[in-house]
Structure 1
């Protein structure tokens, strides 16, 4: 999840280039566009702790962590654009029991003796880079205006993780536990058994769609990323079988350390298909006046729907403030023709669990 830092650094470099090129081609149909978007959320522990083996006393029951990151920059010529794309996704989903057991053992906290735990963990991750081609158009009708864009991306992928662990655990005493679970996962690096493998290569394809409509006081924008898409991995290592906790050792304090034992098999899939999960964002505004609008924002991804009421102020409703109650995140957005800058967080200290950033520039269409 350190990937957003790389994105921010790239944004600073790209900002200089975009501003220079946008001025250079201000009166031409050729221009440069740029998009940086990142949203990271952890229900259980702060984002900083999630990067450091959950080593924290700040824990809340939850069932997911995810991070969605997108960096794109390219050229736009009239209605067409072509750009370089780099993206990364983490998607971890787990039972609350799994989260609590992992957090307690990671921090060597006392366990409640003779307590049963439901173990269920699904993990998905990849990094990718490639090219994205898009077509964009505008239609003006008698009572409304419509903008739309269709994009197609092809990219090479690495750092595969895709699998699931399901089973049961039970504490023996306040420092020891047993478990048995079924495992099935593909990977680029075997983080469970440290098996030496050759990392697979993947090729991905994705289609996206964006719509924006304005009708009197109403404005609606919808973006569907990975509307259709998948990554096809070649020669992907995998492990499948039953894990148990029979192989144990104890540290100086008597706390158990489990080296999982596998009863199953390891192999390599000639081809493994990793579907891309559709991400939908929507933004609706109703203009109460020229300087005030109220609305609702939606984000649907990783089987989770987030809603945020919003209020937009100033001329052309350039400044928007939204609150996402499910993540307790406050978001501030500044929008002018061609530009969008947005920042959201649920706090300002190391306890942040939700962090969102968007910074984008796209030349206006010559209509």
Structure 2
């Protein structure tokens, strides 16, 4: 169960380090997606961009870094945790398109409400509800990669003021970090201080966060593709963007485990609450494995005015919609700002654009946010 806390913290830390790099116009949505048409603008030759979006339902970012000390705001049903980071550095040629380097980290975790509550109560020595049966379920999917990117865009139709264009991108990937698996089980509170549990896990990993286990390093090569379709005139625009339309990582001898865990091995802390070193039995092996990358969608419609524009859209990842609305204001040719609101995690954001530089910030609370977004970019 510690994987929900530990793995999400690790990705936020590493992604924040990536953001410190010098980094196209900032995000209109939430996720750090690659839009081939942005990177093949014929007016610019060099691009550098870094973005992060990290959000979760049950805990604030502060609580994640403080061993879950604080308030719990678990959702009824499935609780989601997302952490996506992307850094792009490259150049564009008028004929051949864009060539660049990309660094990516992505993780998505979904957990049942019962699992989140049990984890929180156990971490904070909060009494359990005697005789309550907790449904334990969690899925995780993530990777870290370096890649080479090629992209180009083409105008396919132009008539009566309307233009239809398409962009295509292809990434060649190298990865050394991954997580892919699930936990299913149940726990029964036998007193205010104690519970019994049993669970099964099918889990592929390059580092085991469920229990201590040293494993050989693994690596993967792969590819992925991106596509964008844009229909626009002087007033209206309609965008469809798909990242990782067909993405695969081919892992060489990646460790996996199929194990049963139980609460046979118990001890108690100084306050009388149960602690565990779970009894584990099952299979530990390594095998070649093909990991499919999470497909990410963005649908967006916009209307432009003389000195402003409004965009309404949504992103879709992990069976979850992330709707948003963005208002852009043009103050001068050199200075622009936009303001956005995302409804899934209820986060507000702003981007400040000065000449060829952009900085963006997004959060859902000034003091204890559970969703944050950062963006830095430059192009010339």
Whether the 8 Å CA contact 1:149–1:210 is kept in 2: the answer is yes
**Offset of 1:111 from its aligned partner?**
1.2
Q: Which moved more, 1:83-92 or 1:340-349?
A: 340-349
User: What does residue 44 of structure 1 align with?
Assistant: 58
Where structure 1 has 5 or more consecutive residues not aligned to the other structure, the ranges are: 13-27
1:57 pairs with one of 40, 53, 70: 70
Alignment of 1:197-216 (within 5 A): 197-216=215-234
CA offset digits 1:217-256 (Å, max 9, x no partner): 2122332111110111111111103211111111222111
Match of 2:109 in 1: 92
Residue-pair matches, total: 344
Deviations 1:114-146 (A, max 9, x none): 111000011122111121111123456122123
Deviations 1:249-288 (A, max 9, x none): 112221111111122111111x11111011122332123x
Q: Are 2:181 and 1:163 equivalent residues in the alignment?
A: yes
In the alignment, the residues of structure 2 paired with residue 297 and residue 49 of structure 1 have an alpha-carbon distance, to the nearest angstrom, of 31
- CA distance, structure 1, for counterparts of residue 341 and residue 209 of structure 2: 38
Q: Distance in 2 between matches of 1:182 and 1:193?
A: 13
Q: Give the aligned CA root-mean-square deviation in angstroms.
A: 2.3
User: 1:85 & 1:228 partners in 2: Cα distance?
Assistant: 17
Match of 1:345 in 2: 363
Deviation at 1:49, TM superposition (A): 2.1
- Cα separation, 1, equivalents of 2:271 and 2:21: 46
Summarize the Cα distance change of 1:337–1:226 in structure 2 as closer, same or farther, 3 Å threshold: farther
Q: Separation in 1 of the partners of 2:156 and 2:374?
A: 30
Unpaired segments ≥5 residues, structure 2: 1-11, 24-41
The structure, 1 or 2, with the larger RCO (C-alpha pairs under 8 Å, 6+ apart) is 2
Query: 1:32 aligns to what?
Result: 46
Return the alpha-carbon distance in structure 2 between the equivalents of residues 86 and 278 of structure 1.
Answer: 17
* 3-state SS of 1:192 partner: coil
1:32-64 deviation line (CA, Å, top 9, x unaligned) = 1122121110110012322444x2221111311
TM-score with structure 2 setting the length:
0.84
Match of 1:264 in 2: 282
Check the 8 A contact 1:29/1:77 in 2, yes or no. Answer: no
1:146-161 alignment, distance < 5 Å:
146-161=164-179
